Structure 1
Amino acid sequence: MSELISSESIAYLGPTGTYTESAALACAQWLSQTRGRTLPILPYPSIAQAIRAVAKQEAQFAVVPVENSTEGSVRTTLDTVWQLEALQIQQALVLPISHALLSRASSLEAIETVYSHPQALAQCQGWLETFLPGVPLIPTNSTTEALQHVDDNPTIGAVSSQRAAQLYNLPIVAHPINDLPDNCTRFWVISLEPAITGKHTSLAFSLPANVPGSLVKTLEVLAKRNINLSRVESRPTKRAVGDYLFFVDLEADLQSEAVQSALPELKSCTETLKILGSYNIQTVIDGQLKPE
């Protein structure tokens, strides 16, 4: 993390060159366009620390990955957002992800170990099994952190971005290597500021008892009002085996009549209900924001 801690900043998973940094730069662009605010971006060593920076008011915003089209939800983001109070999703950003294999090896066959963030390794699993079968895959805190190993040993490779290769002056051995051509990651822009209007709304809740039909009863509150769900995700409460909490994304504005009428009923059939915010979604193409 930068030695300079400022509440007027955007926290993100660093160091420089990560995909999250690209999303953080897009967030800065969004804030400039929509709120007339110019904020610096500050790297943090983990997703959880970036989120906690907002909760502790060390940063005003945090940009964190929440879901990848290949590997699904980012568990650390969901768990940390649930654990902390008053966090609100201000905006969602979708960033196309195109992985590259970086190395100073003389050839692909000379690579003996590959480092990267677990999500990046998983998104390239098929390619790695095909072209580097049997090569150990070592997880790191970020795709950029993996690059520190490349200069140490010419038999080491790292899965990272083309931008990182340019920033750190490292050769690209292969690109793209992600298994799906339309690989993309959705990021949340999180703050303590209220987020009460937008085309999408996210909720999280736990249930009062692990009994048959308790989840169905909760979801029926939304179904009978014709509120469409774009995602339902379960996570362990970490209180007991088989005890879960749920994250739900609604294709509806929090201020809509349907959602407002559903909230009292949802509160009555859940143990804890958290409204995580109402927001819009924008795609980032070549560093520029595109409307939803």
Structure 2
Amino acid sequence: MTLLIAHLGPPGTYAEQAALLYVNWLQKIKGLETILCPYPSIAQTLRAVAQGAAQLAVVPVENSIEGSVSMTIDTLWQLDTLQIQLALVMPIVHTLISYAQSLESIKTVYSHPQALAQCQGWLERFLPSVQLIPTNSTTEPLQKLEQETTAAVISSQRAAQLYNLPILVDGTNDYPENCTRFWVVSQANVSITNQSSAIRNSHTSLAFSVPANVPGALVKPLQIFARLGINLSRIESRPTKRSLGEYLFFIDVEADAREAQMQSALQQLNAYTEILKIFGSYNVLPVNTLDQEVSG
């Protein structure tokens, strides 16, 4: 069986790097053959799996500096047929790639909005007057550099090597501890890795809307988890896109959805939510864990 794995392209993105690490693990531990399939946006990456054009997608969901990737969670809410198989945590080191001879000659910096935000302090300090232009990915604008010698792109070392481009500055993150969490997503009720049902998953992701914007509308669902002793590792709101002031709530809990306490929580949530979606239970692994399993 050959798995098609979708990711944000073009080649050289951090999503592709995360996918490659996951692919290496699949091939050496599970014996599965894979083909990476780049897509021009995160939304198209997830839709490829929903529509059956790929079996898996590797998408960024949260960064330690800039927070959640809204395109990922918004698209996951819209698509009812996807589930999270695994989460990978990968360190991110940004570089400034340019043909310019010095920082003083740079007038424009391109990159994905997340990368620009993760380097905001560095950009304000060293390139305070440049024009910042957001792009679909950190590698999409690299093709502009040969023609625009006063432009730069914030991307990865691997992208610079892949496209044979010069690195002007290495390490432009605002903080050295910069990590991104990626989700490995499949269609619902599909287990690519054939994980044993006896293995406990560490996290469950879910989202819900509430029937009305009234006092206690959010507190009551959250109190269910508190009463049952279930810890929340993340909570955030996103607009429903139906009306100003209406929100969806995305929650990560430190529990497996199959556990009795979580089953009770999910049942009780139905009384206080308008729509409740369970995105799946999964484990969160640093990428070096995959490396250790491969080499061990």
The two structures have a TM-score, normalised by structure 2, of: 0.92
What's the counterpart of residue 218 of structure 1?
221
Q: 1:138 and 1:47 mapped to 2: Cα distance?
A: 18
Q: 1:97 and 1:286 mapped to 2: Cα distance?
A: 16
Which runs of at least 4 in structure 1 moved beyond 4 Å after TM superposition?
Answer: none
Q: 1:290 and 1:247 mapped to 2: Cα distance?
A: 31
Q: Secondary structure at the match of 1:41?
A: strand
RMSD: 1.9
Q: 2:147 and 2:170 mapped to 1: Cα distance?
A: 22
What's the counterpart of residue 275 of structure 1?
278
Q: Secondary structure at the match of 2:52?
A: coil
What's the counterpart of residue 66 of structure 1?
61
Shift of 1:63: 0.6
1:104 is the counterpart of 2:99: yes
CA contact (8 A) 1:117 1:146 kept: no
Q: 1:107 and 1:209 mapped to 2: Cα distance?
A: 55
What's the counterpart of residue 45 of structure 1?
40
- Letter aligned with residue 16 of structure 2: E
Shift of 1:211: 0.8
- Letter aligned with residue 256 of structure 2: D
Is there any run of 5+ residues in structure 2 with no aligned partner, and where?
192-196
1:143 is the counterpart of 2:146: no
1:241 is the counterpart of 2:244: yes
Return closer, same or farther for 1:236/1:62 CA change in 2, 3 Å cut-off.
Answer: same
Per-residue deviation, residues 55-113 of structure 1 (Å, max 9, x unmatched)? 10100001111001111100100110000112100000111000000111111211111
Which residue of the other structure, out of 47, 50, 58, is the alignment partner of 1:55?
Answer: 50
Which residue of the other structure, out of 179, 184, 187, is the alignment partner of 1:184?
Answer: 179
1:265 is the counterpart of 2:260: no
Return closer, same or farther for 1:71/1:84 CA change in 2, 3 Å cut-off.
Answer: same
What's the counterpart of residue 253 of structure 1?
256
What's the counterpart of residue 194 of structure 2?
none
- Letter aligned with residue 284 of structure 2: I
CA contact (8 A) 2:90 2:181 kept: yes
CA contact (8 A) 1:205 1:274 kept: yes
Please give the residue correspondences for 1:191-210 in structure 2 after superposition, counting only pairs within 5 Å: 191-194=186-189, 198-210=201-213
Per-residue deviation, residues 176-212 of structure 1 (Å, max 9, x unmatched)? 0010100111011110143785111111111111111
Shift of 1:27: 2.2
Return closer, same or farther for 1:192/1:7 CA change in 2, 3 Å cut-off.
Answer: farther
Shift of 1:216: 0.5
Q: 2:267 and 2:246 mapped to 1: Cα distance?
A: 23
Which residue of the other structure, out of 75, 81, 84, is the alignment partner of 1:80?
Answer: 75
Q: 1:262 and 1:13 mapped to 2: Cα distance?
A: 35
Is there any run of 5+ residues in structure 1 with no aligned partner, and where?
1-5
Q: 2:71 and 2:56 mapped to 1: Cα distance?
A: 17
CA contact (8 A) 1:206 1:272 kept: yes
1:288 is the counterpart of 2:291: yes
What's the counterpart of residue 155 of structure 1?
150
CA contact (8 A) 1:284 1:290 kept: no
The two structures have a TM-score, normalised by structure 1, of: 0.93
CA contact (8 A) 1:283 1:289 kept: no
Shift of 1:166: 0.6
